[in-house]
């Protein structure tokens, strides 16, 4: 529960039709298991107390009475148990029979929700036995075991301390209704929707179920959980498969496949959902009198995590999805640059080419744009500017790549110009400090800008999103350009894009791209070692980019606190980085992210390619002098 994680289990106990004693014992076993696992919410299927396929037996006093007695036993069984239990059963109210879900916690029934949309078609003919709850008022009560229990289809259950820990219930076919209870429940503050269901299995239905649940969770920015009837149901015309699903804001976190007879268990991040709603201007909240909120208590514990967090949230794990994303990024880069070049009536594009990954991708994007324009690639001027730290390997790769792509290559050795500049500002070339490094970067930018002026061209920026987050760029050096094609692409994604292009290229280009991929990331601003190899490796200085990209995503996209980012990073990178290493680089990330904002406040234009962007023109609005004290303090007690 700490950090907003709520563990939920969707369970399909075995059932025997009309045998409430057997079914109750199975439910008790499920409660015991959930209690042992410290599950916050245990969701059981629709009408699981009696089984859902009783048909006209639901009319029987014997069934109705035994269901009531079963609920009493389940209620008593939850005393001193941790989970909140949601169980389905038929209940009578004002001479009508309703398909209900009872919410039970620590020996009390918190409320009872009744199904609104009752199917009257195909194998479902539940309107024959049950009445819709559509006309029941939000403040209605049902008398059960001497108590008046809140009873309607518009109940929201909210934790007494954790405001974001809130849930509502809709039942079965309510999910498929054009106007479902879930929309109103979410609009009034429910972050989790629970659906006890009895959806039978037919060909294609599992995928339909997944689609509806993913859509409902995305549209309402909520978690949506369904628990389905098991194979113990009657099989006259239907078979049930215990297909249980846990989804969060459009993504399935856990699923028991049809006929697998397993539980779906995962942790819902209600703080993340709340943050996403705050950021979305499409999510409409409202407070209406026809929704009743019920407070409940549950001990706040440190929930153990089982859900999966992507090692690199910017890079899809599925190969097909990754390739599709890469193709989309390449098109966005190319079409964006094409439009900018045409609008500016530029005759050429000028790129500083270093033999590293970022300039490599920028050049490839520029080639794509020129091909779209059916323009001569020779109008692309790639400029290599060797200086004190340039290695033979990167220089040769830059030359080979330009030759294989058929662009114009120019070489401007800047050593003499930089040394003259050192003399002018009275700086010793033996002092390898930030002045020594940045003088080279700014000289390179001056060369590029002046060539662009001379050739009626535009300087194409090469810096990536990871570098922008860390401020790993020289202000008014490589920080500046006339259009920055990589500005929204992380370092880890740049690597995958170049790898993809290499795999789909002819031998000469493929060979050089693969060697660029194998080259350590470096600004090459310090002299090479005695063997002429790169001495300055970026990730030794600022930390691994895979960690920083992970930090960046959860800091920006989810607005997680640093301590929460540390927790999930430690969990996700277990066996790769230890906690001390993660904490060290997380502190570096937070410090640099804040103090380097001034560089992001005046970025050149660049195409947006993903949900996380640091453009100051709408995507990330932050004062350059904002204090990072709160974020640093949050990490002080870790370690």
Model pLDDT, residue 124: 53
Q: Strands 147-152 and 141-144: what pairing?
A: antiparallel
Helix (H, G, I), strand (E, B) or coil at 608: coil
Cα end-to-end distance, the chain, whole Å: 21
Gap between the Cα atoms of 322 and 34, Å rounded: 37
Strand order in the sheet with 264-269: 141-144, 147-152, 108-114, 96-105, 84-93, 41-43, 5-10, 264-269
Residue 67 pLDDT greater than 70, yes or no? yes
pTM of the model: 0.90
Convert the pLDDT of each residue in 5-55 to its tens digit.
Answer: 999 999 999 999 999 999 999 999 999 999 999 999 999 999 999 999 898
Residue 105 pLDDT greater than 60, yes or no? yes
Using CA atoms in the order 299, 302, 306, 308, what is the torsion angle rounded to 10 degrees? 120
Gap between the Cα atoms of 552 and 546, Å rounded: 10
pLDDT band at 524; cut points 50, 70, 90: low
Please enumerate in sequence order all residues whose Cβ is within 8 A of that of 398, keeping only pairs 6 or more positions apart, or say none: 353, 354, 355, 359, 382, 384, 409
Least Cα distance to 72 among 41, 27, 136 occurs for: 27
Helix (H, G, I), strand (E, B) or coil at 488: coil
Alpha helices per DSSP H over 527-611: 538-542, 545-556, 562-572, 579-595, 597-600
Give one DSSP letter per residue of 490-506, joined into a string: -HHHHHHHHHHHHHTS-
Convert the pLDDT of each residue in 194-230 to its tens digit.
Answer: 999 998 888 888 999 999 999 999 999 999 999 999 9
Alpha helices per DSSP H over 160-288: 181-187, 205-219, 270-279
Residue 355 pLDDT greater than 80, yes or no? yes
Convert the pLDDT of each residue in 374-408 to its tens digit.
Answer: 999 999 999 999 999 888 999 999 999 999 999 99
Higher pLDDT, 233 or 428: 428
Model pLDDT, residue 194: 98
Convert the pLDDT of each residue in 120-177 to its tens digit.
Answer: 655 555 777 898 888 888 889 999 988 999 999 999 999 999 999 999 999 999 998 8
Model pLDDT, residue 121: 55
Type and span of the H or E element at 10 = strand 5-10
Domain range annotation of the chain:
2-296, 319-634
Model pLDDT, residue 21: 97
Please report, rounded to a whole number, the percentage of residues in the chain having pLDDT higher than 90.
81
Architecture of domain 2-296: 4-Layer Sandwich (3.60)
Residue 179 burial (C-beta neighbours within 10 Å; 0-12, 13-18, 19+): exposed
Name the token pair of 398.
């830059």
- Which residue is associated with the tokens 């009493």? 72
Helix (H, G, I), strand (E, B) or coil at 381: strand
Model pLDDT, residue 201: 85
Residue 635 burial (C-beta neighbours within 10 Å; 0-12, 13-18, 19+): middle
Q: How far is CA 399 from the centre of its chain?
A: 39
C-alpha gyration radius of the chain: 31
Lowest mean pLDDT of 322-331, 501-510, 545-554, name the range. 501-510
Residue 114 β-bridge partners: 100
Architecture of domain 319-634: 3-Layer(aba) Sandwich (3.40)
Residue pair 325/316 in contact by the 8 Å Cβ criterion: yes
pLDDT band at 531; cut points 50, 70, 90: low
What does the mean pLDDT of the chain come to? Answer: 93
Alpha helices per DSSP H over 294-424: 319-343, 357-372, 392-405, 415-424
Please report, rounded to a whole number, the percentage of residues in the chain having pLDDT higher than 70.
97
- Which residue is associated with the tokens 């229990």? 149
Name the token pair of 70.
């079963």
Model pLDDT, residue 286: 76
């Amino acid at each position: 529960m700490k950090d907003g994680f709520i563990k939920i289990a969707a369970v399909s106990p075995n059932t025997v039709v009309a045998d409430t004693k057997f079914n109750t014992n199975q439910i008790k076993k499920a409660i015991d298991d959930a209690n042992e696992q410290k599950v916050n919410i245990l969701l059981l299927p629709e009408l699981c107390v009696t089984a859902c396929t009783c048909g006209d037996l639901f009319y029987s006093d014997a069934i109705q009475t035994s269901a009531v007695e079963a609920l009493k036993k389940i209620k008593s069984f939850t005393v001193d148990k941790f989970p909140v239990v949601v169980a389905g059963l038929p209940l009578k109210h004002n001479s009508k029979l309703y398909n209900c879900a009872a919410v039970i916690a620590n020996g009390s029934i918190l409320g009872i929700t009744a199904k609104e949309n009752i199917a009257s078609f195909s194998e479902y003919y539940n309107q024959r036995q049950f009445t819709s709850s559509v006309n029941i008022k939000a403040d209605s009560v049902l008398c059960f075991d001497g108590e008046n229990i809140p009873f309607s289809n518009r109940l929201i259950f909210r934790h007494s301390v954790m405001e974001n820990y809130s849930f509502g219930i809709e039942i079965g076919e309510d999910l498929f209704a054009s106007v479902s209870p879930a929309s109103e429940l979410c609009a009034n503050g429910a972050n989790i929707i629970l659906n006890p269901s009895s959806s039978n299995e037919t060909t294609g239905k599992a995928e339909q179920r997944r689609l509806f649940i993913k859509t409902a969770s995305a549209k309402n920015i909520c978690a949506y959980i369904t628990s389905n009837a098991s194979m113990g149901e009657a099989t006259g015309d239907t078979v049930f498969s215990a297909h249980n699903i846990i989804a969060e804001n459009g993504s399935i976190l856990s699923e028991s496949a049809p006929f697998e007879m397993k539980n779906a268990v995962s942790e819902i991040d209600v703080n993340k959902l709340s943050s996403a709603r705050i950021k979305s201007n499409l999510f409409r909240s409202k407070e209406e009198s026809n929704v009743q909120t019920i407070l409940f208590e549950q001990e706040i514990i440190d929930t153990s995590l089982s859900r999966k967090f992507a090692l690199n949230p910017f890079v899809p794990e599925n190969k097909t999805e990754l390739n599709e994303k890469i193709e989309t990024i390449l098109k966005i880069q190319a079409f964006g640059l094409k439009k900018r070049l045409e609008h500016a009536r530029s005759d050429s594009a000028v790129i500083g080419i270093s033999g590293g990954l970022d300039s490599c991708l920028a050049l490839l994007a520029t080639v794509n744009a020129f091909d779209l324009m059916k323009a001569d690639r020779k109008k692309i001027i790639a400029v290599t500017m060797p200086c004190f730290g340039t290695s033979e390997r990167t220089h040769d790769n830059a030359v080979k790549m330009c030759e294989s792509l058929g662009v114009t290559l120019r070489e401007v050795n800047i050593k003499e110009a930089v040394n003259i500049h050192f003399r002018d500002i009275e700086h010793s070339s033996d002092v390898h400090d930030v002045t020594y490094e940045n003088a080279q970067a700014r000289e390179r930018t001056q060369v590029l800008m002046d060539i662009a002026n001379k050739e009626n061209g535009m300087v194409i920026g090469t810096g990536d999103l990871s570098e922008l987050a860390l401020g790993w760029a020289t202000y008014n050096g490589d920080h500046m350009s006339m259009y920055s094609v990589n500005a929204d692409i992380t370092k880890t994604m740049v690597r995958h894009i170049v790898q993809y292009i290499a795999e789909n290229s002819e031998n000469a280009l493929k060979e050089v791209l693969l060697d660029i991929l194998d080259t350590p990331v470096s600004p090459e601003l310090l002299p090479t070692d005695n063997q002429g190899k790169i001495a300055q490796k970026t990730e030794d200085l600022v930390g691994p980019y895979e960690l920083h990209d992970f930090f960046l995503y959860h800091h920006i996209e989810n607005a997680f606190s640093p301590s929460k980012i540390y927790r999930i990073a430690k969990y996700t990178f277990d066996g790769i980085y230890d906690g001390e290493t993660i904490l060290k680089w997380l502190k570096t990330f937070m410090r640099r992210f804040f103090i380097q904002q001034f560089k992001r406040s005046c970025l050149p234009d660049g195409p947006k390619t993903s949900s996380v962007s640091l453009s100051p023109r709408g995507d990330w609005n932050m004062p350059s002098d904002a204090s990072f004290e709160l974020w640093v303090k949050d990490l002080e007690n870790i370690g």
